[in-house]
Homo-oligomer: A and B are copies of this chain.
Amino acid sequence: MTFSPTGPAPANDLLLRALRREPVERPPVWMMRQAGRYLPEYRAVRATADFLTMCRTPELAVEVTLQPIDLVGVDAAIIFSDILVVPEAMGMALTLDEGVGPQFPSPVRSATDVARLRAVEPADQLGYVLEALRLASRDLAGRVPLIGFAGAPWTLAAYMVEGRGTKQFAVAKRMLYEQPALAHALLEKLAVAVGDYLVAQVEAGAQVVQLFESWAGALGPELFRTFSLPYLARAARRAREAGVPVIVFAPGAGWALGEIAAATEADAIGIDWHTDVAAARRQLEPFGVAMQGNLDPCALYAPPSEIRRRTHAMLQAFGPVGHVANLGHGILPDVPPAHARAFVDAVKELQWPDAVPVGAASSSTAYPGAA
């Protein structure tokens, strides 16, 4: 396997430049869950195969990965997959029933359960994701950067212990309070698996990776610092050594942005839609990191003119340097595709430095540079 951390520079390298806080004529834009149910073209593929089959079939995964580039006009592709493929690779049976969501019928509850979890050899158990990345990378032919991703250790542990998504993750949190040593043993294994997996994704063609600590919000400050942050940081730093920019997104932990930047050494921090942009900037300023986010996904229910207004306000709040325009959480399945395009178009029509909407994007306008 050849190691090529970034590959040839893509034709549209706005994302890579923004993540390095280099000058950009306008912010890059993509959307979490951009390959998803809001697109009729996605639903057409989904009608032929269930979600997990789509994840496991590189050709199908690549097809939906590429859809939003032309259909919506985003500046990056993110590989279609699921964070729960890692616990599955560790030996946990994973089911996904319509309307119920993903489930592990045999959740992790004891030291025996933790001991039984296999070490992950990505090329082996997760070869189908790596193959999808290779195919997507080939098919993209450098048009836009390709993003890989993984769930962070605490988030995966929460699912593995609960057996399914819940509102409060009380079973998983009970383990943190009752059996902290067991929880640490599980998180330890996950940090290694996630780190290895991200490195393998980079080797397979991912030019950026994002870590999702989706259940950061289930933890208060003390538990977050004990059970999330150290393992998140380990996985992020490992990925960073592979030579690509790392984005860390920990929704529900807006109070911890500075701590996350310090511990993970991430290139960019995702900002959830709960978080005030000015407050996020104040926290992150000392770290010189890029920021990604954070339009409320529900704002895409508004009429397009209102989406445009809110998107421009969001861009102004983040400012011209080191901002990756995105939603502050995944796009919702019942958003009209035209509204997703209105969001993307609103980003594209803005041009720094004067920050006045000018109609259509024109990448010929040079950005005069900023601090």
List residues of chain A with CB under 8 Å of any chain B CB: 167-168, 170, 173-174, 176-178, 217, 220-221, 223, 252, 254-255, 273-276, 279, 296, 298-299, 301-303, 306, 328, 332, 334
A221 in complex: contacting residue of B176, B178, B276, B301, CB < 8 Å? B276
Cα distance A220–B303 when bound, in Å?
19
Nearest B residue to A302 via CB reads B177
A174: chain B residues within 8 A (beta carbon)? 298, 301
Asked whether, in the complex, the Cβ of B273 is within 8 Å of the Cβ of A255, the reply is no
Asked whether, in the complex, the Cβ of B255 is within 8 Å of the Cβ of A178, the reply is no
Assess A170 versus B298: contact at CB under 8 Å? Given A255-B254, A255-B276.
Answer: yes
A254: chain B residues within 8 A (beta carbon)? 255
Asked whether, in the complex, the Cβ of B255 is within 8 Å of the Cβ of A302, the reply is no
Q: Tell me the smallest distance from the CB of A159 to a CB of chain B, in Å.
A: 15
Asked whether, in the complex, the Cβ of B255 is within 8 Å of the Cβ of A220, the reply is no
Cα distance A302–B176 when bound, in Å?
9
Assess A332 versus B220: contact at CB under 8 Å? Given A274-B252, A301-B177.
Answer: no
Some 23 contacts from A to B, beta carbons below 8 A apart, are A167-B167, A170-B298, A170-B332, A173-B298, A174-B298, A177-B298, A177-B306, A178-B301, A178-B303, A217-B274, A220-B273, A220-B274, A220-B275, A220-B276, A221-B274, A221-B276, A223-B296, A254-B255, A255-B255, A255-B274, A255-B275, A255-B276, A255-B279
A217: chain B residues within 8 A (beta carbon)? 274
Q: How many copies does the complex hold?
A: 2
Asked whether, in the complex, the Cβ of B220 is within 8 Å of the Cβ of A296, the reply is yes
Q: Tell me the smallest distance from the CB of A312 to a CB of chain B, in Å.
A: 14
A332: chain B residues within 8 A (beta carbon)? 168, 170
Cα distance A273–B222 when bound, in Å?
10
Q: Tell me the smallest distance from the CB of A361 to a CB of chain B, in Å.
A: 25
A328: chain B residues within 8 A (beta carbon)? 220
Q: Tell me the smallest distance from the CB of A196 to a CB of chain B, in Å.
A: 31
Q: Tell me the smallest distance from the CB of A215 to a CB of chain B, in Å.
A: 12
A298: chain B residues within 8 A (beta carbon)? 168, 170, 173-174, 176-177
Q: Tell me the smallest distance from the CB of A282 to a CB of chain B, in Å.
A: 11
A178: chain B residues within 8 A (beta carbon)? 301-303
A274: chain B residues within 8 A (beta carbon)? 217, 220-221, 252, 255
Nearest B residue to A277 via CB reads B221
A302: chain B residues within 8 A (beta carbon)? 177-178
A221: chain B residues within 8 A (beta carbon)? 274-276
Nearest B residue to A329 via CB reads B168
A223: chain B residues within 8 A (beta carbon)? 296
Cα distance A170–B252 when bound, in Å?
17
Cα distance A221–B167 when bound, in Å?
22
Nearest B residue to A173 via CB reads B298
A303: chain B residues within 8 A (beta carbon)? 178
A301: chain B residues within 8 A (beta carbon)? 170, 173-174, 177-178
Interface-central residue, A170, A217, A274, by most chain B CB under 10 Å: A274
